[in-house]
């Protein structure tokens, strides 16, 4: 199956911002789906400064680990 996850929430809500990354990295990638992530709107702030390195939501892995896993599996991330 093909999935595109849309991230629109910025660092003000770490858990909500991490969910699309978590679903892509630990959901779709794990079962072999053709996956991509789109970062839009307020989520673009995740790419500024060290936001991505420090973002940690509740009940999900840190965003830096999720993005590393997406990169390791060559999952495209569109901004």
CB 37 within 8 A of CB 1: no
* Residue range 17-57, pLDDT digits in tens: 999 999 999 999 999 999 999 999 999 999 999 999 999 99
Q: 58-75 pLDDT, tens per residue?
A: 999 999 999 999 999 999
pTM of the model as a whole = 0.93
Report the domain count for the chain.
1
Q: How far apart are CA 35 and CA 79, in angstroms?
A: 15
Range of the domain at 19: 2-78
């Amino acid at each position: 199956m093909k999935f595109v996850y849309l991230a629109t929430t910025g660092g003000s809500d770490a858990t909500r911002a991490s969910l699309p990354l978590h679903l892509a990295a630990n959901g779709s990638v794990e079962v072999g789906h053709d996956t991509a992530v789109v970062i839009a709107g307020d989520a673009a702030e995740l790419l500024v400064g060290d936001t991505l390195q420090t973002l940690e939501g509740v009940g999900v892995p840190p965003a830096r680990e999720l993005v590393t896993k997406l990169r390791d599996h060559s999952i495209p991330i569109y901004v």
